[in-house]
A and B are shown apart, each in its own frame.
Chain A
């Protein structure tokens, strides 16, 4: 069983905020810009940088760990340092990578707010920030994972990791069978966002047509 179908439900964009709370945010933005606290150009740079981050970053780390056992060791021992080595700056957070095995499945959450390793995974999906995911995944992880299409055998141990403002997690999924001799780049293309969060367990090896 692999991931759920993202093409199924894509919510429409909503360009104009109509709530009072959103307008307070936009009003604050205009006041800060008018007062010279930051410029529209600086805003553009920040937005472009955030839009540039995607799960492909996390996927590169995973592929490298699959190929290079010494790197995998370093990654699991000190995630932050190993990421720095690969050119990612995740300071000021601590970073821990949890490895899935045949007996262990890891999944990440932030129950208190919605901390998420954005530099490695891009923006978090709406469900990651939802109350139902945050409240339930620590209480009944198997049931929540089943909603994502992940069916776990009883003998697989589920470990839920609750992130904080200072500590972020990423899951190291299992390398799929039938990928011996694959290049790092090709391996990285198999890794999905949800597998890095832990709401997908098995990665799909796509057949070349």
Chain B
């Protein structure tokens, strides 16, 4: 088999049985999905290829471990930070605020 282009290039590899179970899309996943679509329609990213490019830059470990919408989230974050639309520091701070908020909600 020829060399793989990256962790996303899985066509033709071996693997286990397909897990046929259905799953609902969680609300936060819809929000990520909508965010990517809106980023596209508002011109923050130019096309879906750009989203894929960000996904293909993930480390093999992250690619393997992230769920589908986690990959989308990290990809869009990468692109918008590298464009200067969002600052990395603001993003980290906001993620911390959300984690604190979630912990407070879980504790209450």
Contact = CB atoms under 8 A, between A and B. Distances in A.
Interface of A: 4, 6, 8-32, 35, 37-38, 42-43, 46-47, 50-51, 92, 109, 111-114, 123, 125-127, 129-136, 138-139, 144, 147-148, 162, 165
Interface string B27-57: 1101111110111001010011100100100
Q: Give the interface centre of A18, A131, A144 by most chain B CB atoms within 10 Å.
A: A131
A132 B34 contact: no
A165 B33 CA distance: 16
Nearest to B66: A21
Contacts of A20: 95
Interface in B1-49: 8-28, 30-35, 37-39, 42, 44, 47-49
Interface of B: 8-28, 30-35, 37-39, 42, 44, 47-49, 52, 55, 62, 64, 66-74, 76-77, 80, 85-86, 90-92, 94-95, 97-99, 102, 106
Nearest to A149: B20
A36 B10 CA distance: 38
B4 to A, nearest CB: 11
Contacts of B102: 16, 18, 23
Nearest to B15: A132
B20 to A, nearest CB: 6
A98 to B, nearest CB: 18
B104 to A, nearest CB: 12
B98 A14 contact: no
A135 B14 contact: yes
Given A19-B66, A38-B38, 6 more contacts: A23-B98, A24-B91, A30-B94, A47-B30, A111-B11, A130-B19
Contact of A132 (B16, B49, B64): B16
A10 B73 contact: no
Contacts of B55: 113
A189 B19 CA distance: 26
Given A13-B26, A15-B27, A25-B76, A111 B10 contact: yes
Contacts of A132: 15-19
Contacts of A51: 30
A135 B12 contact: yes
B11 A165 contact: no
Contact of B21 (A11, A22, A28, A111): A11
A24 B95 contact: yes
B49 A165 contact: yes
25 contacts: A10-B21, A21-B66, A21-B70, A23-B99, A24-B74, A24-B77, A24-B91, A25-B77, A26-B28, A29-B32, A29-B35, A35-B86, A37-B39, A38-B35, A42-B38, A43-B31, A51-B30, A113-B52, A113-B55, A125-B22, A126-B23, A129-B68, A131-B13, A131-B15, A147-B20
